[in-house]
Structure 1
């Protein structure tokens, strides 16, 4: 059995040198696999596959496993923009490493975020991360409120936040932390949509999610009877064809008497006062004010 076959037989995100040797791989065989690019030596004595998620490999290099938003993203949940690798570490962890930095990043800037909290469930060794339950608890405690809700919305949309998982998460939260779960909406189509929904609802507006408009289809958010808020994401609105379809929908909606407020990716993340001002203005216009 060569090193790559042994690695796959182990069925884990990463393996140690001694694991490979126990499966019959020689030191020379391990070195040859690394030289061919079959395996990556991420940390002394620890190996992973080249195609595995970079932030998960970064967590291994530090000396731990993927945590918080990094672990959540490994399950397909929404990842906040420009998120650093989040790493869970045992309380006895030692010989921790910093990650290499690009030249454009100042040396005093952090390269990753460390989590030391006790875990509720065993590690997910297949993914090299904490469990979904622990990842969601960490997200709630670590991330800003809007970003945390966006991650949990995506978990609900993916079917990862079932009754058991929700109960397990809620069991360890403080009353203030647990109140966040009341705002989740698994119908939300993207993380940026979740954020804009919360901006509007925090302002006292009854923003409805994923509303069907006859002859047009599903719109992201509706406020009142006539104001529609469409929230662009990088994934679904970046290409010229996608933008052309968006413009066609906007024209049809306006022709049917609706007022469309289209919010781009940057505005959804960074210009909440501007978004709210536009929606309030559209509402005033719809009432003839």
Structure 2
């Protein structure tokens, strides 16, 4: 049995006993290691030279990838990345504080499962915690709003149901209540979740992913009259997409909608400014005044 092929099927790294059980002989291991085709990542642990760090850390520690490491592998949106691998271990597994396996950029979690079974296809089987468990454990590492972004995305993709939040065991009660109150699987991006939460917190009525005849779906409709479109960092790589958005904007204007567009930095770095601009435009819409009838003291400062 070819050792590289076996390692590939196991995600790029494996314990020696796993390789032997798969049919790899001790001699094949020695030869592949001597030839530099595989590396000995730790005592009793072998890996391909380009093995993913998360898989490698999980094999070395005999644990499971969890929390934001597992969610990142799944492609869920993260606002921040710590550079650490998050690994779940049994509660009774002991490690010295100076254990080199722990000090090499690994964040350890210890927790009982919450009963979920759906695993993360991007990682080898039995090497990651279920999606719901990873989301639950994330309460230890991310702020409430980023946690909501992750849960929104998981619900949108059908990975969990909103009812799964009630079964979270690691998240404190206040976090579970926050998530259950604000989760909305209709949001299709990090920017939509943050914007929806920000505007909803100001008492505005916000509807995500509204379909409008002749236009298609728009990101958000606020107070029934203002369309908010959100342009991510990878916005418009080609001219046709840019032209299509201009056409949509014109059609929306013809239908009586006002359109505001915000960028990643607007939403993530300056949410208070974004909210102020939305409130100012809504005030204009409600009073029926145009920008030309407003005095300079009534306009937003640049």
Give RMSD over aligned pairs. 3.2
Q: Do 1:61 and 1:97's aligned partners in 2 also have CA atoms closer than 8 Å? A: no
- Secondary structure of the equivalent of 2:193? helix
In 2: Cα distance, 1:223 partner to 1:49 partner:
51
In 1: Cα distance, 2:203 partner to 2:250 partner:
28
The higher radius of gyration belongs to 2
In the alignment of these two chains, the number of paired residues is 275
Runs of 5+ consecutive residues of structure 1 not aligned to the other structure: 100-110
- Secondary structure of the equivalent of 1:225? coil
Q: CA deviation at 1:167?
A: 4.5
Are residues 157 and 214 of structure 1, via their aligned partners in 2, closer, same or farther at CA, if it must alter by over 3 Å?
same
Which of 84, 91, 94 lines up with 1:92 in the alignment? 94
Are residues 24 and 197 of structure 1, via their aligned partners in 2, closer, same or farther at CA, if it must alter by over 3 Å?
same
The match for 2:295 is none
Q: Do 1:210 and 1:218's aligned partners in 2 also have CA atoms closer than 8 Å? A: yes
Are residues 47 and 152 of structure 1, via their aligned partners in 2, closer, same or farther at CA, if it must alter by over 3 Å?
farther
Are residues 184 and 164 of structure 1, via their aligned partners in 2, closer, same or farther at CA, if it must alter by over 3 Å?
closer
- Secondary structure of the equivalent of 2:207? strand
In 2: Cα distance, 1:270 partner to 1:72 partner:
23
Aligned 1:125-204 pairs, distance under 5 A: 126=125, 128-162=127-161, 165-169=164-168, 173-179=171-177, 180-204=179-203
Q: TM-score, normalised by structure 1?
A: 0.79
Q: CA deviation at 1:276?
A: 0.4
Greater displacement, 60-69 / 16-25:
60-69
2:110 paired with 1:116? yes
Aligned 1:1-289 pairs, distance under 5 A: 1-7=1-7, 11=10, 14-33=13-32, 41-48=40-47, 53-57=52-56, 64-90=63-89, 91-93=93-95, 95=99, 96-99=101-104, 111=105, 113-120=107-114, 126=125, 128-162=127-161, 165-169=164-168, 173-179=171-177, 180-235=179-234, 237-241=235-239, 242-287=241-286, 288=288
In 2: Cα distance, 1:36 partner to 1:239 partner:
44
Q: TM-score, normalised by structure 2?
A: 0.76
Q: Do 1:209 and 1:222's aligned partners in 2 also have CA atoms closer than 8 Å? A: yes
Runs of 5+ consecutive residues of structure 2 not aligned to the other structure: 290-302
- Secondary structure of the equivalent of 2:227? strand
In 1: Cα distance, 2:113 partner to 2:195 partner:
32
Q: CA deviation at 1:86?
A: 4.0
The match for 1:103 is none
Q: Do 1:227 and 1:259's aligned partners in 2 also have CA atoms closer than 8 Å? A: yes
Q: CA deviation at 1:165?
A: 3.8
